[in-house]
Amino acid sequence: MPLRTLESLGSLAGKRVVVRCDLNVPLKDGVITDDGRVRASLPTLNTLLNQGARVVVVSHLGRPDGAPDAQYSLAPVAQRLSELLGSEVTFATDTVGQSATDAVSNLSDGQITVLENLRFNPGETSKVESERAAFAEKLAAFGDAFVSDGFGVVHRKQASVYELPSLLPSAAGELITAELTVLDRLTESPERPYTVVLGGSKVSDKLGVIGHLLPRVNTLLIGGGMLFTFLAAQGHKVGASLLEADQIDTVKNYLAEAEKLGVEIILPTDVVVASKFGADAEHVVQPADAIEDTAFGASGLGLDIGPETAERFAGIISSSKTVFWNGPMGVFELEPFAAGTKTVAQALTETDGLSVVGGGDSAAAVRALGFDDAQFGHISTGGGASLEFLEGKRLPGLEVLGWQ
C-alpha cells in the first residue's frame, strides 16, 4: 500500500485538521536561533489554510520530563509561525486541557492554533501503549482529520506519531512526501558517482547506515569525531581524541568489506590537533598518522579535519552526481575548528547533481556557517529519521500512513 497523501483526504474546507509538525527548534534565552523546521512546515500549513481548514498544530520541543517546563514552551514558535504566515496564530497554554479546548473551539475556517509542547504530557512518550493511546484519543477529539508532517519524529513510536493517525482519517503532509522522494533517490536510483560524507562524534551512531549504504555508494568520506576510531582501526595512535575502542573490530570489518566491494572509504590525511577542547586552545595541523607527535603528545585531541583533507573531500564531492552528508567534519561551533565543515558545505553547493544535507547537526552547521537552504538540493529536517531510513529500518510513523 502506498503512502497516503493529502489528496486522499479530499476537501478539508471547514474541517478541523490536527497537524503533527516537527517544530523542535533550538532556543537561546527564549529566542529561536534556527527556524528551519518552522519554515519547512509552511507548505503543508498553507495548503490546508488555503482550503479553509481549521488547523490545530501539535509538536514537541526538547526533552521535558513529561511535565510543563517554561524553557521548552512552544510559545516562541507560535509567534514565529505567525510572522512567517503573515496571519494570527493563537496559542494554547496546555496540550489537551481547557486552554487547548477553547483554542480549537474558537477556530474559524482558514485559521490556525498551536497547542503547547506535547511532551509536557507523559502520555506522548510513554513506553506503555495504553497510556499513549489514551493521550492520542484526547488529541483526536480536536480533529476531523490528521496530517502527519513531522519527518524528524517518524522513527518514534509516540502518541502523536503512531497512535493518533489510526484514530482519524490520516495522511502524510507535503514535507514528509518531499523527504521520502529524496531519500528514495538516495537508496533506489542514485545518479553516479555517488558519494556519502559521514561525520559527527560517534561511529556507533553511523554503523547501520555504513553497512546498508556500502553496497550502494561509490565513495565514503569519513570525518568528525568518528574518524579517530577508523584511524585506530588502521593501527594509528589518536591521542586524547574521541575514540570508541569497542567499535574498532567492527570498523576493520567495514574497511575489509569496502575493499571487497570496490568502494573507496577515504579517511583524512591531516587533522587539526588541539591542546584542549576550547576556542582558545593552541592547535596545529598534523598528519593523521602522527597525531601524538606534537608538543601536546598523547593529550592532544583532533577537533577538525585538516586543510589538505578538506580540499580532497571537496574535489570528490563537487565531481559527484549524488551526495549525502550527515555529520560535521569537526567542532564547527568553535571558529578555529569550523574550516573543514565549511569547505565540505561549500563543495555541496557546487555539486552538479543532487546534494542532500542529512538534518540534525549538519543542517545546523550549514546555517550557522552562513549558507542558505536554497544552495543545497535538499536539507532534511530529520537527522535520526533520515539515517534510519537509509539503514533500511521500518519507521512506525510512516507505516501507520500506509508506507512500506
Residue-wise pLDDT for 62-103, tens only, equals 999 999 999 999 999 999 999 999 999 999 999 999 999 999
User: Is there a single domain that holds both residue 188 and residue 236?
Assistant: yes
Could you tell me if residue 401 is inside a domain? no
d(CA 186, CA 262): 19
Residues 61 and 158 in one domain: yes
Residue 245 lies in a domain: yes
Cell numbers found for residue 338:
569550523
SS3 348: helix
Same domain? 291 vs 355: yes
Burial 43-58 (b: 16+ CB within 10 A, else e): ebbeebbebebbbbbb
List the CATH number of the domain containing 96: 3.40.50.1260
Question: Do 202 and 343 reside in the same domain of the chain?
Answer: yes
Do residues 222 and 281 both lie within one domain? yes
Q: What are the pLDDT digits (tens) for 208-241?
A: 889 989 999 999 999 999 999 999 999 999 999 9
Residues 60 and 188 in one domain: no
Question: What range does the domain containing 128 cover?
Answer: 6-173
Residue 327 pLDDT level (bands cut at 50, 70, 90): very high
Mean pLDDT, rounded, for 124-148: 98
Query: What is the pLDDT, as a whole number, of residue 154?
Result: 96
The pairs formed by 84-87 with CB atoms below 8 angstroms and a separation of 24 or more are 84/35, 84/38, 84/39, 84/42, 85/42, 85/45, 85/46, 85/49, 85/112, 87/49, 87/111, 87/112
Question: Is a pLDDT exceeding 70 seen at residue 1?
Answer: no
Task: Using pLDDT thresholds of 50, 70 and 90, give the confidence band for residue 2.
Answer: confident
Residue 271 lies in a domain: yes
Binding positions are 22-24, 37, 60-63, 119, 156, 206, 302, 333, 359-362
Q: How high is the pLDDT of residue 63?
A: 95
Quote the pLDDT of residue 391: 86
Query: Exposed, middle or buried: residue 68 (CB in 10 Å: 0-12, 13-18, 19+)?
Result: middle
pLDDT of 203 above 90: no
Query: H or E element: which one contains 89?
Result: strand 89-91
Does 300 lie in the same domain as 169? no
Lowest mean pLDDT among 6-10, 11-15, 172-176, 197-201: 197-201
Q: What pLDDT shows up at residue 207?
A: 86
pLDDT band at 278 (very low <50, low <70, confident <90, very high): very high
**Do residues 160 and 136 make contact, with C-beta atoms less than 8 angstroms apart?**
yes
Helix, strand, coil percentages in the chain from 3-state DSSP, rounded to 5: 40, 15, 40
Q: What are phi and psi of 370, to 5 degrees?
A: 95, 10
Residue 317 near residue 282, CB atoms below 8 Å: no
Mean pLDDT, residues 1-7: 87
Q: Average of pLDDT values for 151-165?
A: 97
Q: Is the pLDDT of residue 321 over 90?
A: yes
Q: What span, in angstroms and rounded, lies between the C-alpha atoms of 40 and 22?
A: 9
Annotated binding residues for ATP, written as ranges, equal 206, 302, 333, 359-362
**Can you give the pLDDT at residue 404?**
79
In a domain, 53, yes or no: yes
Q: What pLDDT shows up at residue 189?
A: 83
- Residues 385/391, Cβ–Cβ less than 8 Å: no
Question: What's the pLDDT score for residue 188?
Answer: 86
| Region 384-391 average pLDDT | 88
Give the number of domains in the chain. 2
Give the pTM: 0.89
Alpha carbon separation from 13 to 8, 16, 67 (Å, rounded): 14, 9, 35
Co-location of 243 and 374 in the same domain: yes
The pLDDT value recorded for residue 387 is 86
On average, the pLDDT of the chain sits at 95
Give the three-state DSSP class for 283.
strand
The reported pLDDT for the residue numbered 366 is 92
Catalytic residues: 37, 202, 360, 384
- Establish if 43 belongs to a structural domain: yes
Asked if 216 and 240 touch (Cβ cutoff 8 Å), the reply is: no
CA distance 54 to 289: 61
Q: CA dist 78 to 36, 110, 148, 349, Å? A: 14, 16, 18, 31
Same domain, 121 and 201: no
Q: What ranges make up the beta strands (E) of 267-400?
A: 270-274, 283-287, 301-305, 322-326, 354-357, 378-379
Please enumerate, by residue number, every residue annotated as part of a binding site for (2R)-3-phosphoglycerate. 37, 119, 156
The domain boundary residue, chosen from 106, 138, 173 = 173
Is the pLDDT confidence value at 124 over 90? yes
Residue 402 inside a domain? The answer is no
Q: What is the mean pLDDT of residues 284-307?
A: 97
Question: What per-residue confidence (pLDDT) applies to 306?
Answer: 98
Query: Does any domain span residue 302?
Result: yes
Instruction: Quote the pLDDT of residue 187.
Output: 87
Claim to verify: residue 259 and residue 374 sit in the same structural domain: yes
Give the whole-angstrom CA distance, residue 117 versus residue 97.
12
186: amino acid identity, one letter: L
Do 163 and 145 reside in the same domain of the chain? Answer: yes
Cβ atoms within 10 A of the Cβ of 335, count? 9
398 in any annotated domain? no
Bin 66: left if φ > 0, else alpha if -120 < ψ < 50, else beta.
left
**349: amino acid identity, one letter:** T
| 372 and 252 together in one domain | yes
